[in-house]
Chain A
Amino acid sequence: PPDNKQVEKKAPCPLHEYVKKILYKELNKLCVERVLRQMRKLDWHDQHVKSMAIQCLTSASNVRYNSIHCLANLVSGLALYYEDIGIQIVDAVIEDIRLGLEINLAKFNQRRVSMVKYLAELYNYRMVESSIIFKTLYTLITFGVSYDLNELIANADTCADPLDNYFRIRLVCTLLDTCGQYFDRGSTKKKLDCYLIYFQRYYMFKKEFGQSVDIARPYDRFDIEFVFTDIISSLRPEFKFANTYEQACEQVSKMEGEIRDSIVQ
């Protein structure tokens, strides 16, 4: 037999196991207070403990999906005492979303949905401002995105956002579903109105041209169509849906024209 050394398993660190237990197994909306008290008792001045705890608090995908808001609540409670921890967690969440766009592997899909939801919940608990949410929203529909069909088909294997990949639409919808209802007045309302028009263009492009290459998962397309129309009609009941990609582009150029005029005046 080969003389391979067996990889020695590291003995689990008891503190790490405990943090995992209270965050991932026990956390629910009834015991946020109690878990917060336990988390405050950690030795936050120990670099090792601190980085372990920050990593645990960032991994929203280990928490039950419906309890992610509890994790955000917990972080906002901790940030009252340790401001830098809140900042480092937000940085890590944003980084994770960005890295997800860059690597774009299906096995991380659930993780990415959780992370986006977590960011939105952090907004609901006032850990980040709306500008971060909008930055993320625009990154989701622009990072590595191309509207050039020939280019997309030629580089189908290497491009960051392949034509038949509808996953980013789901991420945007998750984000809007979680915190979109608060963008209902003032400047954030206007920002969301603009965003939805760009988002519709992105969606219509995928819908019209994605069909040609999408054979593997024909149901994704219908599924995502419901998600898309549901979220927009719940946020903006008056929204005028475009029927074709061309119409969606017209809406974009009309809006851009109006904004340009208002700046000139």
Chain B
Amino acid sequence: MTSSTATDAEKSNEHPVKKIVIRRLPPTLTREQFLDIVSPLPDYDYFYFCNADPTLGQNAFSRAYFCFKNNQDVLNFRDRFDNYVFLDSKSNEYPALVEYAPYQRRFKLDPKNPPKKDSK
């Protein structure tokens, strides 16, 4: 029974869930500020925010990765934030890019098989 509902859920979501990345965010942006700006967010099961790499100087950007549970949300998110202009504290403009992430693997905690605990 459970297996059949799982396949139904998969069918309604024809393509497997994709990891997307929003790039070229202001380097001074923090995770909390970013979440403030983009909320309300649709349901997601994966998110992480990367601070900019300061060694790139003026070419440093922050970025964030998402997996939305519903594929339609990906399109809506892209329509909202692709080319959306983020501002940093000095009001410099940073048009963001929304793309599918080239590397699709994502980390998911599996409650049945927790990852090996590091004994160190």
Contact with A along B29-56 (1 / 0, CB 8 A): 0000000000000000000101101011
Complex CA–CA separation, A53 to B118 (angstroms)? 17
**B99 nearest CB across to chain A (Å):** 9
> Do residues A40 and B118 form an inter-chain contact, with CB atoms below 8 A?
yes
Query: Count of chain A residues with Cβ under 8 Å from any Cβ of B?
Result: 29
Complex CA–CA separation, A103 to B63 (angstroms)? 16
**Residue B65 is within 8 A (CB to CB) of chain A in the complex:** yes
> Do residues A55 and B53 form an inter-chain contact, with CB atoms below 8 A?
yes
With contact pairs A81-B116, A83-B115, A95-B63 given, residues A135 and B53 touching in the complex (Cβ less than 8 Å): no
Which label, helix, strand, loop or mixed, suits the secondary structure of the A interface?
A: helix
Report chain A residues within 8 Å CB of B53: 55, 58-59, 92, 96
Complex CA–CA separation, A108 to B60 (angstroms)? 13
Report chain B residues within 8 Å CB of A94: 102-103
Q: Give the residues from 77 to 120 in chain B that come closer than 8 angstroms, CB to CB, to chain A.
A: 101-103, 105-107, 115-116, 118, 120
Contacts from A to B (Cβ < 8 Å): 37, 40-41, 51, 55, 58-59, 80-84, 87-88, 90-92, 94-96, 98-99, 103, 105, 108, 128, 132, 135-136
The 3 tightest CB contacts between A and B, nearest first, are: A84-B107, A81-B118, A103-B59
Contacts from B to A (Cβ < 8 Å): 21, 23, 48, 50-51, 53, 55-56, 59, 61, 63, 65, 101-103, 105-107, 115-116, 118, 120
23 contacts between A and B (CB under 8 A): A37-B120, A51-B50, A51-B51, A55-B53, A59-B53, A80-B116, A82-B115, A82-B118, A83-B107, A83-B115, A84-B48, A87-B103, A88-B50, A90-B103, A91-B21, A91-B50, A91-B103, A94-B103, A95-B23, A95-B50, A96-B53, A105-B59, A128-B103
